[in-house]
Amino acid sequence: MGTQYQGNLSADSGADSVLSVALNGPGDFGSASISISGTFVGTVQFEASGDGSTWDSIEASDLVGDAPVDSASAPGLWQLSVSALTNLRVRCSAFTSGVIAVTINLSTAFF
């Protein structure tokens, strides 16, 4: 069973700068994938929070086996374990142009 969230990021501050997901508590979901697409010049950060207000960087692995990263500046697909998390977000930290299309897929399965 999975849940999908989508959003377009087009700024580095304000409502258009973040796609945030409340995970309902540790253990509700096992893993997440984050898809970044579009033609853009910008950088997004992968972040997690235990309370929905204090955010820390979290690393995600791309599907080609590169080292885990906590940010992205190009389209791609990343995955991470979310079983111990309560909140997950993708935040635009730098933006110049275009639209950054973000899709977060949550799954009860573990990867």
Q: Measured between alpha carbons, how far is residue 75 from residues 23, 24, 109 in Å?
A: 24, 28, 24
**Residue of 110, 105, 108, 92 lying closest to 40 (CA atoms):** 92
The domain ranges of the chain are 2-107
Residues 14-29: what's their mean pLDDT? 86
**Residue of 108, 107, 110, 87 lying closest to 19 (CA atoms):** 87
Q: What is the pTM of this model?
A: 0.92
Alpha-carbon distance of 24 to 27, in angstroms, equals: 9
Average predicted confidence (pLDDT) for the chain: 92
CATH of 2-107, one of 2.60.40, 3.10.50, 1.20.120, 2.60.120: 2.60.120
pLDDT at 110 over 80: no
Query: What is the model's pLDDT at position 1?
Result: 52
- Residue 89: which H helix or E strand, with range? strand 87-98
Residues 7-17: what's their mean pLDDT? 92
Query: What is the model's pLDDT at position 81?
Result: 92
Query: What is the model's pLDDT at position 76?
Result: 95
Q: By percentage, how much of the chain surpasses pLDDT 90? A: 71
CB 80 within 8 Å of CB 30: no
Per-residue pLDDT tens over the stretch 61-107: 998 878 999 999 999 999 999 988 899 999 999 999 999 999 999 99
Q: How many CB atoms lie within 10 A of CB 26?
A: 12
